[in-house]
């Protein structure tokens, strides 16, 4: 039950009061003791008696300090301090015990040490470079009460100003030589290099087989960047099944600006449906056996406010395709790609809204010596709302290609994530240059029902919209972390049924690690 009485003494006032009243000289006799801030009837009879017993005794700071601590033990929502005032006679003093309620002061709620004053700012560990502006901000804290939020903000600014050195900056408090005064110590230390491995993250689709990452390795060398190596065998994203590796290095971390360079080499395999469609289609872009890619990518991330994150990248890709149709030989698919994305998250005690949107545009032109001349646009919007055990989710994506794009740029739906229940090789075995897709999901605890609809078609054809429905068993969010194997919570089973699919059979999808 909440206490009705509110005493609006702040800790800083309490401290200032103590400062104005230095300790009296020795052998002073206590003339009177007053308690301020609470009705003394709230204290136990024993404690009241002990306080009043001070009257007539020689002043002793330790005894009074012990009594203020006893008050705090009896009234845990309060802080207590003492002050001395001159008595009516020269060798007499008056003691005032001040009691303040913690719950009325946000700073004290968050850190009990907010009632103490900062004497000095010190630095330990690795030497820091500090701008004049930041130094002025740091000096402003001297003489003020401890402010944890401000200390953390300035610590983050110190880290950012020294980001090229890859430092972590933590703060801590140390007792000063004066009672109830503290020193703030900023401790800078070099971040540790990390090495992480993971295996088997992906999906098993009853009609398309396994798709995902076989093995992954990340070595982060602070502060320079991250070396990565991944092996894939997947038929999920593209029409082709691709198997091979990707190695890369990223300079910088993913807060702010970073640059990544990657090389990948994948062997492509095609389903019979695709091989047959390629033989019959006059406008097929052709199939390849090998796809080697060298890319450079500039990434940018910026938190617009506490809930909104913006991101963008610009990438240059040099693809070499070893073609198997329509003729044998090598072709280049060099692409310039750019993307913008935004995320807005609002989370409260009861519910959360997540809204994400992205646009990616890419082009293959003769200017960068590409044999495939095309322009590609793709947009995505995802919204989810969750409240307690309920989840509502909507996803929408649309895409358009003009020109002659290679197979790995063409759109396809009907896999483990889109139009679940349909098999992409039966819908459009060569993919399409137009795509529209939407999905609505309702989840309760570990079961989620979904309704998917979408179409992939070529500009020269009319589109056919297909629908599917089904359910997924598994957690909507799981803690995969940096573990070697997927967390048991991150396994899921999905069953999708094509609607008006004729002889189309349902698909079973086992999710591992997402």
Partner 1 sequence: MSNVSRSCILIALIMGIQANLFAQSLNARTDGQHLRVVIERSRFLSGDALRKLHDGVPVVYIFRLSAHTSRLGSTLAKSEYRFIISYDIFEERFQVSPVRPTGRVVSHLTATTAEATFIEAMELPVTSIGTGMFWLRLEYQAEEATETNAPGMSIGGLVEIFSRTGTKEPTRGTMEAGPLRVSDLPRVAPPRGKSP
Site for partner 1, rule CB under 8 A: 2-3, 69, 72-73, 76-79, 102-103, 106, 108-113, 116, 146, 148-149, 152-153, 156, 168, 170-175, 179-180, 182, 191, 253-255, 301, 303, 305-307, 309, 311, 343, 345-349, 389, 445-446, 488
- Cα dihedral 311, 373, 322, 360 in deg (nearest 10): 10
Q: Which of 323, 285, 324, 240 lies closest to 403, judged by CA?
A: 285
Nearest approach in angstroms of CB 101 to partner 1 is 9
Task: Output 193 or 276, the one with its CB closest to partner 1.
Answer: 193
Instruction: Indicate the residue among 292 and 354 with the shorter CB distance to partner 1.
Output: 354
Residue with tokens 């895409």: 399
In whole angstroms, the minimum distance from the beta carbon of 108 to partner 1 comes to 8
Q: Distance between CA 101 and CA 7 in Å, rounded? A: 6
Q: How far is the CB of 2 from partner 1 (least distance, A)?
A: 7
- Nearer to partner 1 by Cβ, of 350 and 500: the residue is 350
State the minimum distance, in angstroms, from the CB of residue 258 to partner 1.
10
- Cβ(399)–Cβ(382) under 8 Å? no
Residue nearer to partner 1 on the CB measure, 366 or 482 = 482
Q: How far apart (Å, rounded) are the C-alpha atoms in residues 188 and 177? A: 24
CB of 442 to partner 1, least distance (A): 16
| Residue closer to partner 1, measured from CB, 78 or 422 | 78
Specify which residues 94 forms β-bridges with: 32, 85
Beta-bridge mates of residue 272: none
Token pair 């429905």 in the structure block, residue:
469
| Cβ(103)–Cβ(109) below 8 Å | yes
Nearer to partner 1, 103 or 493 (CB): 103
Closest C-alpha among 279, 280, 267, 215 to residue 240: 267
Comparison of 61 and 446: residue with beta carbon closer to partner 1: 446
List the end-to-end C-alpha distance of the chain, in Å, as a whole number.
44
Burial per residue of 186-212, b for 16 or more beta-carbon CB atoms within 10 angstroms, e otherwise: bbbeeeeeeeeebeebbbebebbebbb
Q: Shortest distance, CB of residue 323 to partner 1, whole angstroms?
A: 37
336-345 per-residue burial string, b: 16 or more CB within 10 A, e: under 16: bbebebebbe
For residues 463-481, one letter each, b for 16 or more C-beta atoms within 10 angstroms of the residue's C-beta and e for the rest, the string is eeebbbbbbbebbbebeee
- Residue 148 beta carbon to partner 1: minimum distance, rounded to whole angstroms: 6
Among residues 132 and 349, whose Cβ is nearest to partner 1?
Answer: 349
Name which of 142 and 367 has its Cβ closer to partner 1. Answer: 142
Phi-psi region of 126 (alpha: psi -120 to 50; beta: other; left: phi over 0): beta
Least distance (Å) between residue 343 CB and partner 1: 6
Q: Which residue, 263 or 491, has its beta carbon nearer to partner 1?
A: 491
- Which DSSP string corresponds to 10-39? -HHHHHHHHHHSPPPPTTPEEEEEEEESS-
Identity of the residue, 184 or 268, whose beta carbon is nearer to partner 1 in the bound complex = 184
DSSP lists the bridge partners of residue 415 as none
Whole-angstrom CA distances from 253 to 299, 300, 312, 483 are 10, 10, 14, 20
CA-based nearest residue to 222, from 249, 197, 248, 252? 252
Structure tokens at 413: 């739906």
Q: Are 378 and 367 in contact (CB under 8 A)?
A: no
Minimum distance from residue 88 beta carbon to partner 1 (Å): 33
Shortest spacing between CB 18 and partner 1, in angstroms: 13
Nearest alpha-carbon partner for 494 in 203, 232, 237: 203
- CA torsion 162-163-168-169 (nearest 10°) is 40
Which are the contacts of 349, defined by CB distance < 8 A and separation ≥ 6? none
Least distance in angstroms from the C-beta of 1 to partner 1: 9
Closest CB to partner 1 among residues 200, 373: 200
Distance in Å, CB of 40 to partner 1, minimum:
18
């Amino acid at each position: 039950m909440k206490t009705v009485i509110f005493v609006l003494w702040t800790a800083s006032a309490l401290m200032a009061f103590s400062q104005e009243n230095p300790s009296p000289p020795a052998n002073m006799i206590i003339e009177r003791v007053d308690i301020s801030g609470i009705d003394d009837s709230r204290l136990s009879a024993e404690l009241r008696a002990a306080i009043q017993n001070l009257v007539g005794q020689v002043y002793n700071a330790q005894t009074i300090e012990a009594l203020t601590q006893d008050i705090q033990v009896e009234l845990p929502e309060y802080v207590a301090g003492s002050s001395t005032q001159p008595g009516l006679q020269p060798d007499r003093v008056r003691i005032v015990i001040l009691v303040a309620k913690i719950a009325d002061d946000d700073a004290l709620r968050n850190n009990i040490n907010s009632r103490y004053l900062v004497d000095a700012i010190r630095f330990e560990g690795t030497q820091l470079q500090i701008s004049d502006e930041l130094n002025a901000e740091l000096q402003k804290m001297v003489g003020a009460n401890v402010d944890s939020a401000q200390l953390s903000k300035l610590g983050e600014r110190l880290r950012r100003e020294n980001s090229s050195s890859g430092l972590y900056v933590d703060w801590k408090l140390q007792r000063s030589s004066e009672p109830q005064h503290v020193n703030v110590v900023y401790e800078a230390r070099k971040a540790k290099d990390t090495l992480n491995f993971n295996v088997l993250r992906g999906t098993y689709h009853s009609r398309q087989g396994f798709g995902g990452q076989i093995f992954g390795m990340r070595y982060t060398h602070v502060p320079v960047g991250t070396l990565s190596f991944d092996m894939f065998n997947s038929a999920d994203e593209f029409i082709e099944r691709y198997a091979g590796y990707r190695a890369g290095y990223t300079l910088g971390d993913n807060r702010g600006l970073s640059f990544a360079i990657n090389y990948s080499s994948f062997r492509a395999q095609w389903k019979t449906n695709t091989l047959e469609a390629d033989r019959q289609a006059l406008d097929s872009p052709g199939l390849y056996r090998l796809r080697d890619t060298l890319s450079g990518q500039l990434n940018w991330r910026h938190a617009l406010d506490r809930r909104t994150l913006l991101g963008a990248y610009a990438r240059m890709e040099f693809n070499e395709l070893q073609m198997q149709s329509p003729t044998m030989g090598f072709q280049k698919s060099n692409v310039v790609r750019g993307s913008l994305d935004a995320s807005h998250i609002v989370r409260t005690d009861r519910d959360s809204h997540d809204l994400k949107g992205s646009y990616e545009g890419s082009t293959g032109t003769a200017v960068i010596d590409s044999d495939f001349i095309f322009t590609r646009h793709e947009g995505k919007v995802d919204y989810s709302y969750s409240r307690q055990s309920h989840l509502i989710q909507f996803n929408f994506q649309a895409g358009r290609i003009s020109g002659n794009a290679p197979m790995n740029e063409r759109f396809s739906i009907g896999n483990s994530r889109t139009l679940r229940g349909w098999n992409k090789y039966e819908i459009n075995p060569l993919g399409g240059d137009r795509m529209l897709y939407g999905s609505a999901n309702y989840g309760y605890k570990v079961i989620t029902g979904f309704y998917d609809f979408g179409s992939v078609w070529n500009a020269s054809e009319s589109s056919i919209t297909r629908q599917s429905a089904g359910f997924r068993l598994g957690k909507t969010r799981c803690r995969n972390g940096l573990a070697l194997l997927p967390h048991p919570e991150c396994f899921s089973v999905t069953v999708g049924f094509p609607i008006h699919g004729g002889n189309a059979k349902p698909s079973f999808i086992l999710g591992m690690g997402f």
